Amino acid sequence: MFRFCYPLILLATPLLAQDQAELCTVSAEIAGLAVTERAAGAAQDRTAETITIALDGPRASYTAAVEPIVAWVYSLPEEQLTADVAMAYEAACLAQ
């Protein structure tokens, strides 16, 4: 019985990895946009709304991630608001 599951697992693994990579890429984009908006002085709720509206097409499925990522960015000390935030977010996401 389990021998039939092995090919499915082997086929699914690259798909899961691809989904993880896409998730991390889009999430990092959200983090980067949130940093930009916060640095420009935008309010947290306005930033979340702006980013949610900007997610169109296939990326629209990531709208549920906007609020928590924006909240995380707004919890960072101001001196950490650099372009490195998005790269660090993506690297941490991919490492999981």
Structure tokens at 52: 């949610």
pLDDT attached to residue 18: 54
Under the banding of pLDDT at 50, 70 and 90, the label for residue 83 is confident
Query: Please, are residues 22 and 79 in contact by the beta-carbon 8 Å criterion?
Result: no
pLDDT attached to residue 17: 47
pLDDT digits (tens, 9 = 90+) for 6-59: 333 333 344 344 588 899 999 999 999 999 999 999 999 999 999 999 999 988
Q: Which backbone phi and psi does 81 adopt, to 5 degrees?
A: -80, 80
**Crossing angle between the packed helical segments 44-54 and 66-75, to the nearest 10 degrees:** 140
Task: Parse the chain into domains and list their residue ranges.
Answer: 21-95
Q: 45 versus 95: which is more confidently predicted?
A: 45
CA atoms of 55 and 61, how far apart (whole Å): 8
